């Protein structure tokens, strides 16, 4: 074997060994990192859009993109069946689904928490308050990252209402900020 052939083989072996060592180092490094791999970075435009959303979210008042009566309880965010009408039998369960936006977040160790307190008023169409309840329900969630798709699902039952027209006002107060928002849903109780 010539010296040139021996040097060529040695160079190839060194290149293969270097590749194998680099690969092993990557595997060892990845195995010591949480998730076993580097997290990919999103595109710069997405990062900028996320930052703009974060700012708009924190500056906006608490509001709702959807507030509706549903047929039965919702199964999660966006998983609901709208009720065909707002006419209820006396004592029938009244299911409400809403999608709040611009609520605050609180850090709890390595989690981000959402906490909304629900209050209600049952009114006549003219605004007279017939019944009310403060902080009757607490809607909460925790996750590793801020959740912006959070369903507010509530079930009301008003026994003893006379047939007629009513307005259900639901207010959500954010425990993580000074924000609150409300929505009104008119409905009718039919005669038996």
Write down the residue that tokens 């990919």 correspond to.
Answer: 40
Domain shared by 27 and 67, yes or no: no
The structural domain count of the chain equals 2
Q: What's residue 38's pLDDT? A: 72
Residue range 114-145, pLDDT digits in tens: 999 999 999 999 999 999 999 999 999 999 99
pLDDT tens, 180-191?
A: 999 999 999 998
Structure tokens at 35: 């998730």
Q: What is the pLDDT of residue 37?
A: 65
Q: Are residues 68 and 9 part of one domain?
A: no
User: Which residue range is the domain that position 7 belongs to?
Assistant: 3-36
Cβ(74)–Cβ(153) below 8 Å: yes
Give yes or no: residues 25 and 94 share one domain: no
Same domain for 102 and 30? no
Q: Would 54 be classed as within a structural domain?
A: no
Number of C-alpha atoms within 13 angstroms, CB side, residue 170?
Answer: 29
Residue identified by tokens 């040139």 is: 4
Task: Say which CATH number the domain at 150 has.
Answer: 2.60.40.2550
pLDDT digits (tens, 9 = 90+) for 61-108: 999 999 999 999 999 999 999 999 999 999 999 999 999 999 999 999
* Structural tokens at position 140: 């909460």
pLDDT number for residue 36:
56
Q: Is the confidence at residue 16, as pLDDT, over 90?
A: no
Tell which wins on pLDDT, 192 or 45.
45
Q: Is residue 135 part of a domain?
A: yes
Does residue 179 fall inside a structural domain?
yes
Phi, psi of 57 (to 5 degrees): -60, -45
Do 72 and 13 share a structural domain? Answer: no
DSSP 76: B
Q: How many CB atoms lie within 10 A of CB 189?
A: 19
Does position 179 have pLDDT exceeding 90, yes or no? yes
Q: Other CB atoms closer than 10 Å to residue 174's CB: what's the count?
A: 20
Which segments within 43-110 are labelled E, that is strand?
63-70, 87-88, 94-101, 106-108
């Amino acid at each position: 074997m010539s010296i040139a052939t021996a040097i060529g083989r040695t160079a190839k072996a060194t290149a293969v060994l270097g590749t194998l060592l680099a690969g092993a180092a990557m595997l060892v490094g990845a195995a010591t990192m949480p998730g076993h791999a580097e997290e990919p970075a999103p595109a710069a435009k997405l990062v900028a859009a996320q930052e703009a959303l974060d700012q708009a979210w924190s500056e906006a008042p608490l509001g709702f993109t959807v507030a509706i009566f549903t047929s039965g309880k919702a199964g999660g965010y966006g998983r609901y069946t709208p009720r065909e009408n707002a006419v209820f039998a006396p004592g029938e369960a009244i299911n409400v689904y809403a999608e709040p936006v611009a609520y605050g977040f609180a850090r709890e160790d390595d989690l981000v928490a959402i906490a909304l307190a629900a209050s209600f008023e049952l009114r006549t169409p003219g605004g007279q308050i017939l019944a009310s309840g403060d902080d009757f329900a607490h809607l909460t969630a925790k996750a590793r990252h801020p959740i912006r798709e959070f369903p507010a699902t509530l079930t009301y039952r008003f026994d003893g209402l006379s047939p007629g027209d009513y307005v259900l006002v639901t207010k959500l107060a954010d425990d993580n900020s000074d924000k609150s928002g409300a929505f009104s849903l008119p409905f009718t109780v039919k005669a038996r």
